[in-house]
Amino acid sequence: MAPEEKVDHINDWLKTYRIGGIKIGDTFAEIKLFAFDFFDVLDADGDGFLTDQELEDAFENNGFDLRQKAFITFLLRRINDIESTYQEEWADGRKGISLVDLQEYFATPHL
């Protein structure tokens, strides 16, 4: 099987696979949408990176509903994986998740 066929197969599987009635592909897409839509809100200091502290503070914020808090938890649990997807030359040693990290992370199928 060629690599691109494997990726297509994984993407097809993610679109249809369900755990407890939840479609995994749909949930992954919702997390991606949430991360991009709320990036500026989550990035409290406006430096272009979401740190674990900013995500923890956002989780404690009463303005987010339970589903959004679940999405924040996803980002917190995967912060190291997400931030390692792209090395920003302009980061000046800053840590956390950038918009480019999110773009690269969500462009790759994950199981």
Note the pLDDT tens digit of each residue in 40-73: 999 999 999 999 999 999 999 889 999 999 999 9
Residue 62: domain span: 15-107
Q: What is the C-alpha to C-alpha distance for residues 11 and 5, in angstroms, rounded to an integer?
A: 10
Contact by Cβ (8 Å): 47, 6: no
Does 77 map to a domain?
yes
User: 39 φ, ψ to 5°?
Assistant: -55, -50
Per-residue pLDDT of 14-33, as tens digits, reads 555 554 455 556 788 899 99
Does 33 map to a domain?
yes
Q: Which residue has the higher pLDDT, 11 or 90?
A: 90
Does 3 map to a domain?
no
Residue 49: closest CA among 92, 18, 7, 17:
92
Number of domains in the chain: 1
Does 102 map to a domain?
yes
Does 5 map to a domain?
no
Does 80 map to a domain?
yes
Tokens standing for residue 90: 């302009």
Give the start-end residues of each E strand in 1-111: 18-19, 22-23
